[in-house]
């Protein structure tokens, strides 16, 4: 295939991406663009040419090691629920545009720290980008069949491809000056490329497995006969295992810290909820990407041997078969992996370079002089120039240096360098003591260790210079061997470098954080990062600043960058939100903080702080004061919490009082009703006695003697009734108040029942009612015999009262259950009406379904029974399921408790 | 008791037989023709057939209570001239007012003096 035809295909593909980016930028709300899957797919920018080509090379050379790079992220992803949501919350709230912004903000907007991180990232990422360009160049050559290298840069196709990419990034990456705003067009193309590279990789994998061989097992079986196969598919002892651990740790850190990953995961995140979906979707993506790696590697070894660049087996295999179409497809897939990585990395780096390096170190004064339009244009141009400079630098690095290094090893070096951000990044999220100085010292020292243990020896080896120091140690000291510091030589080179650099970095970070007392800014933001959930939403209050500033001056600064209209709008909302009088001339801490944030998106947090600092005369505050203020806000928050809690409790209490009151009113009404009923019940026999007595007294001797007798008998009867009634009332009162003392003893239930039956025997006989006591067991229970006798008598009397004369049958039963004795009194009388069940145990309740005749009794009977049984801790109820009469059941405890 | 033509007919309605017995004796002795009912339902049956001059009516009775009985009597065209006197243990002001509002001619409370009841009844008739 001629190089021109390949180039044309490539340009067509780029044009397609331009068109897609344009369309997406116009339709940002489209559901094909704004959804969690696009977010998850954009995370797959992680899979660069290194994955697409390099993994196969690693698999062919060192076996399963290639997996570590994907295991780290898969392990990290579930933690995102916890950590990434938190990072996104902080980032969104502070308009963070890059990882340098994020970390430097944590340490009090430290200018040097932001710059240092930017430099470290450039060191790590620019060679990494150059590797991607190298992959494009080499695959381009393989495909077009040209073997000679370009005589100078201007004859090299890769140079022009790089420039095209730079144009693409510069155009779609800087549409808005606010770098914290998302770029839908760019992200959509990244997601699209993620799909392309995965699908094409799966296609070539299937082609190799099923078209060139008879399936994966065929490849495996044939490969098993190759020399050194065992070392490729197994762990080689404990050392190898430990190296694995460090490799996984490395990629674990990379998924958080690589500037391009931070960019797609945090800066471009539109909704923290997307993370949930991304966790499984991205893990699945990585899994799919790794399915065929091993087989392609083995197939390459079997068909092509080791004489070719093993990274490019996937391209060489179809080419060897003369299948150029498929090879072209593989090339486009690899190109997609390159573009997305280069685009996002360059964009992230250029933001850092402009916001953390160029603007705060030199361009700020100039910006301060001019008007908003020029400023916006100026900032945009700074970013665009940065993009071009970065891409060209990466290209130059590729052109002059990277010919000797494999994709995989340079990728790993990048990872180890970026891992130096880890202590400041992660500890800063959870520990509020960390300081900027400690962070800087840790990073510089860690980076130095990486230089000595990895970068220096690796490049020396690559360039073939004097390598004595590698075998002898630096300065001839054996303990300083770059690949085996202090005799530690069992790890792989990268694992070794990672171990020592992180150890030094972390130790120094912790040591200096403890030694140096944090200044108030560090403390302030430390608090904000560590307690993100309680502070955010409330952080306009929780910010410590003391000084003198005039609102007008601050506004002037904002006007220069945001324009008058936007500034006024933002201030209006700010005043409204915080309930501040817009006529205040002096700015307070909240306004300063708010203004800094407004500028951060455009200029980065460091420059924003410097700009506001120009017009706000800040008074130094001692740490003690900061702590006091922070404690105060914390205390206010706490007391607010307590107040809310208290008011909730009060509301609850009020509710309880209300229901208690209702209950009291109800009780009061019941008491009234009770008294009314008692009065009525007492009046009836009294009336009767009085009337009979009056008639007798007024007798003039003409009353027949049987009348006299009747009246006297009535008096006696009503007096008895009165006595019973008063006795009952007193009983009930005593039982209700718990003043009734029970004579509790172990007794035979049978005896008590028989005693009660004897008491009503006469009455039953008179009415011709049969009392059956056959089913009474020999149970013993613990009770007051007189009282329980009273209950039995009452139930028996009721039964006799409501059964028909001559036909009535009353049956008594008793049986012991686990902890209690159950006593049953049932009859074949009229039964209990359904609506009476819930009331019959209430005092004075008398069913209207009784005989038309006023029933005999006080209306206290069952109420007293209930009280007595309950005071024995038993239960009494009427069985609603019993038909053909009434059945009352009560229980008594067998043992004393 | 011996002269039926001068006798006024009185219906005593109460579910307490002992009270009724005393009243019955006393009214008969004062030359009333006495009828007895033990609840509202019975009272209405008897009243419709004998058309008493006066009904002495308890309030708290099973089934049909005193208030309902009074209403029924007032609705009956043949008993437009029948006087009704409540005789009840309910002695709250609100109860008395309710009874009178329903159209009772008098409201007497228990416990009572038999002599006084007879005097009141005679006065009303």
In this predicted model, what pLDDT tens digit does every residue of A820-833 receive, in sequence order? 899 999 999 888 88
Confidence of residue A889 (pLDDT cuts 50, 70, 90): very high
Of residues A683, A692, A854, nearest to B110 (C-beta): A683
- CA nearest to B72, candidates B96, B43, B97: B43
Q: Torsion-angle region of residue A824: left (phi > 0), alpha (psi -120 to 50) or beta? A: beta
Contact call for residues B70 and B103 (beta carbons, < 8 A): yes
Q: What is the pLDDT of residue A538?
A: 46
pLDDT above 70 coverage of chain A, percent? 88
d(CA A788, CA A749): 9
Distance from CA of A721 to the nearest CA of B (A): 12
Sign of CA dihedral A525, A527, A532, A535: negative
Q: Which residue has the tokens 């208690």?
A: A660
Cβ-based burial of A188 (10 A; exposed 0-12, middle 13-18, buried ≥19): buried
Q: What is the pLDDT of residue A621?
A: 60
Q: Which long-range contacts (CB under 8 A, 24 or more apart) does A736-745 make?
A: A736/A867, A738/A871, A740/A787, A740/A871, A742/A783, A742/A784, A742/A787, A742/A871, A742/A872, A743/A784, A743/A785, A743/A786, A744/A782, A744/A783, A744/A784, A744/A872, A744/A896, A745/A782, A745/A783, A745/A784, A745/A785
Q: What is the pLDDT of residue A115?
A: 92
- B13 touching A (Cβ < 8 Å): no
Contact call for residues A540 and A575 (beta carbons, < 8 A): no
To the nearest 10 degrees (0 to 180), the angle between helices A564-578 and A551-562 is 130
Q: Which residue has the tokens 């910010």?
A: A543
Residue of B nearest to A847 (CA): B62
- A717 touching B (Cβ < 8 Å): yes
Chains A, B: CB contacts within 8 A come to: 78
What is the DSSP pairing of strand A744-748 with strand A780-784? antiparallel
Interface contact B25-A687, CB threshold 8 A: no
d(CA A239, CA A229): 19
Average pLDDT over residues B51-58: 92
Q: What is the pLDDT of residue A120?
A: 93
Chain B residues with CB under 8 Å of A683 CB are: 89, 110-111
Confidence of residue A632 (pLDDT cuts 50, 70, 90): low
- CA nearest to B69, candidates B12, B118, B6: B12
- A854 touching B (Cβ < 8 Å): yes
Confidence of residue A851 (pLDDT cuts 50, 70, 90): very low
Q: What is the pLDDT of residue A665?
A: 85
Strongest mean pLDDT among A54-58, A151-155, A387-391: A387-391
Average pLDDT over residues A525-552: 66
Q: What is the pLDDT of residue A412?
A: 81
Higher pLDDT, A878 or A462: A878
Confidence of residue A623 (pLDDT cuts 50, 70, 90): low
Distance from CA of B80 to the nearest CA of A (A): 28
Q: Which residues contact A696 (CB under 8 A, 6 or more apart)?
A: A703, A708, A711, A712
Higher pLDDT, A847 or B4: A847
- CA nearest to A526, candidates A544, A540, A511, A546: A544
CB atoms inside a 10 Å sphere around CB A551 = 18
Q: What ipTM is given for this predicted complex? A: 0.91
d(CA A626, CA A524): 8
* DSSP-derived secondary structure letter, A426: I
Confidence of residue A701 (pLDDT cuts 50, 70, 90): confident
Average pLDDT over residues A41-68: 85
Distance from CA of B124 to the nearest CA of A (A): 21
* DSSP-derived secondary structure letter, A740: P
pLDDT tens-digit readout, A138-156? 888 888 876 656 666 677 7
Interface contact B110-A692, CB threshold 8 A: no
Phi, psi torsion values for B36, nearest 5 degrees: -130, 135
Q: Judge whether residue A853 has pLDDT over 80.
A: no
d(CA A873, CA A405): 89
Least confident of A20-34, A182-196, A609-623, A805-819: A609-623
| CA A705 to chain CA centroid, nearest Å | 97
Average pLDDT over residues A409-431: 88
Interface test with A, best of B12, B45, B109, B111 (most A CBs within 10 A): B111
- A699 touching B (Cβ < 8 Å): no
d(CA A65, CA A86): 32
Confidence of residue A850 (pLDDT cuts 50, 70, 90): very low
Average pLDDT over residues B17-43: 91
pLDDT above 90 coverage of chain A, percent? 17
Residue A38 vs residues A43, A148, A184, A195: alpha-carbon distances, Å? 9, 40, 10, 10
Average pLDDT over residues A866-886: 88
Of residues B41, B111, B115, nearest to A687 (C-beta): B111
Of residues B22, B41, B90, nearest to A691 (C-beta): B22
Confidence of residue A408 (pLDDT cuts 50, 70, 90): low
d(CA A871, CA A340): 82
Interface contact B110-A698, CB threshold 8 A: no
Chain B residues with CB under 8 Å of A685 CB are: 18
Share the mean pLDDT of chain A: 82
Q: What is the pLDDT of residue A405?
A: 62
- B36 touching A (Cβ < 8 Å): no
Residue of A nearest to B90 (CA): A680
Confidence of residue A488 (pLDDT cuts 50, 70, 90): confident
Q: C-alpha angle A585/A588/A589, rounded to 5°?
A: 160
């Amino acid at each position: 295939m001629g190089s021109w035809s390949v180039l044309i295909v490539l340009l067509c593909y780029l044009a397609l991406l331009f068109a897609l980016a344009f369309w997406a930028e116009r339709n940002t709300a489209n559901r094909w663009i704004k959804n969690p899957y696009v977010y998850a797919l954009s995370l797959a920018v992680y899979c660069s040419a290194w994955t697409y080509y390099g993994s196969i090379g690693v698999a062919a050379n060192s076996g399963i090691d290639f997996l570590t790079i994907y295991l780290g992220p898969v392990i990290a992803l579930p933690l995102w629920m916890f950590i990434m949501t938190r990072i996104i919350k902080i980032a969104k709230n502070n308009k963070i545009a890059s990882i340098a912004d994020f970390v430097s903000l944590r340490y009090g907007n430290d200018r040097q720290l932001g710059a240092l991180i930017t430099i470290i990232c450039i060191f790590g990422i620019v060679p990494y980008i150059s590797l991607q360009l190298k992959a494009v160049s080499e695959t381009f050559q393989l495909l077009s069949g040209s073997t000679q290298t370009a005589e100078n840069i201007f004859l090299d196709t890769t140079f022009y491809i790089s420039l095209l990419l730079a144009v693409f990034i510069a155009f779609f990456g800087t549409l808005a000056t606010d770098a914290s705003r998302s770029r839908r067009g760019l992200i959509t193309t990244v997601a699209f490329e993620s799909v392309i590279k995965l699908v094409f990789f799966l296609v070539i994998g299937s082609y190799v497995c099923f078209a060139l061989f008879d399936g994966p097992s065929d490849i495996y079986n044939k490969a098993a006969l190759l020399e050194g196969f065992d070392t490729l598919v197994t762990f080689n002892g404990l050392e190898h295992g430990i190296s694995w651990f460090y490799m996984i740790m490395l990629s674990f850190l990379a998924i958080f810290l690589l500037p391009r990953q931070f960019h797609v995961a945090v800066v471009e995140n539109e909704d923290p909820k997307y993370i949930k979906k991304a966790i499984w979707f991205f893990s699945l993506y990585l899994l799919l990407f790794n399915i065929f790696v091993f087989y392609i590697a083995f197939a390459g070894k079997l068909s092509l041997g080791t004489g070719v660049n093993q990274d490019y087996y996937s391209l060489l295999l179809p080419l060897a078969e003369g299948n150029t179409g498929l090879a072209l497809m593989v090339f486009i897939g690899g190109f997609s992996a390159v573009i997305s990585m280069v685009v996002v990395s360059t964009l992230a780096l250029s933001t850092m370079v402009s916001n953390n390096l160029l603007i705060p170190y030199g361009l700020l004064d100039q910006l301060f002089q001019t008007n908003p339009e020029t400023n916006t244009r100026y900032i945009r141009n700074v970013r665009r120039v940065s993009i071009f400079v970065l891409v060209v630098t990466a290209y130059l690095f590729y052109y002059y240096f990277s010919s000797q290094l494999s994709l995989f090893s340079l990728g790993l070096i990048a990872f180890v360098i970026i891992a130096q951000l880890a202590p400041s990044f992660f500890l800063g999220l959870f520990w509020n003591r960390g300081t900027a100085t400690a962070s800087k010292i840790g990073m510089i020292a860690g980076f130095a260790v990486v230089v000595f243990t990895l970068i220096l020896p690796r490049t020396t080896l690559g360039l073939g210079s004097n390598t004595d120091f590698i075998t002898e140690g630096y300065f001839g000291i054996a303990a300083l061997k770059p690949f085996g510091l202090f005799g530690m030589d069992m790890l792989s080179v990268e694992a070794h470098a990672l171990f020592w650099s992180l150890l030094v970095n972390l130790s120094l970070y912790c040591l200096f954080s403890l030694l140096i007392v944090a200044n108030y800014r560090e403390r302030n933001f430390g608090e904000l990062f560590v307690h993100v959930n309680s502070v955010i939403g409330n952080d306009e209050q929780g910010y410590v600043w003391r000084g003198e500033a005039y609102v007008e001056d601050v506004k002037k600064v904002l006007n220069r960058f945001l324009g008058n209209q936007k500034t006024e709008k933002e201030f209006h909302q700010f005043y409204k939100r915080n309930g501040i009088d817009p006529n205040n001339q002096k700015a307070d801490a909240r306004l300063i903080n708010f203004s800094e944030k407004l500028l951060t998106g455009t200029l980065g947090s460091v420059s924003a702080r410097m700009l506001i600092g120009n017009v706000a005369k800040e008074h130094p505050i001692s740490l003690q004061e900061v702590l006091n203020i922070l404690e105060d806000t914390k205390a206010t928050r706490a007391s607010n919490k307590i107040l809310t809690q208290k008011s909730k409790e009060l509301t609850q209490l009020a509710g309880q009082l209300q229901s208690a009151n209702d209950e009291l009113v109800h009780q009061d009404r019941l008491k009234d009703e009770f008294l009314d009923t008692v009065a009525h019940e007492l009046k009836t026999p009294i009336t009767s006695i009085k009337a009979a007595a009056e008639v007798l007294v007024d007798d003039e001797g003409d009353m027949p003697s049987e009348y006299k007798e009747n009246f006297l008998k009535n008096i006696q009867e009503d007096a008895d009734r009165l006595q019973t009634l008063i006795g009952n009332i007193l009983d009930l009162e005593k039982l209700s108040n718990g003043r009734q003392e029970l004579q509790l003893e172990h007794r035979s239930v049978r005896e008590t029942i028989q005693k009660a039956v004897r008491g009503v025997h006469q009455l039953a006989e008179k009415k011709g009612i049969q009392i059956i006591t056959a089913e009474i067991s020999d149970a013993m229970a613990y009770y007051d015999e007189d009282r329980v006798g009273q209950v039995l008598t009452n139930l028996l009397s009721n039964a006799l009262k409501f059964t028909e004369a001559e036909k009535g049958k009353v049956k008594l039963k008793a049986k012991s259950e686990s902890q209690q004795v159950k006593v049953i009194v049932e009859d074949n009388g009229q039964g209990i009406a359904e609506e009476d069940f819930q009331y019959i145990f209430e005092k004075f309740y008398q069913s209207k379904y009784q005989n038309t005749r006023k029933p005999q009794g006080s209306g206290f009977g069952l109420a007293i029974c209930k009280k007595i049984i309950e005071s024995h801790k038993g239960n009494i109820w009427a069985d609603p399921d019993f038909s053909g009469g009434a059945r009352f059941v009560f229980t008594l405890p067998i043992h004393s408790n | 008791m011996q002269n039926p033509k001068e006798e006024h007919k009185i219906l005593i309605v109460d579910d307490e037989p002992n009270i009724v017995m005393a009243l019955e004796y006393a009214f008969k002795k004062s030359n009333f023709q006495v009828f007895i009912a033990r609840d509202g339902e019975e009272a209405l049956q008897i009243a419709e057939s004998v058309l008493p001059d006066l009904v002495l009516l308890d309030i708290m009775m099973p089934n049909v209570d005193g208030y309902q009985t009074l209403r029924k009597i007032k609705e009956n065209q043949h008993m437009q001239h029948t006087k009704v006197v409540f005789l009840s243990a309910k002695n709250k002001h609100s109860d008395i007012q309710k009874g009178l509002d329903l159209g009772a001619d008098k409201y007497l409370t228990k416990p009572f003096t038999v002599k006084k009841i007879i005097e009141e009844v005679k006065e009303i008739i």
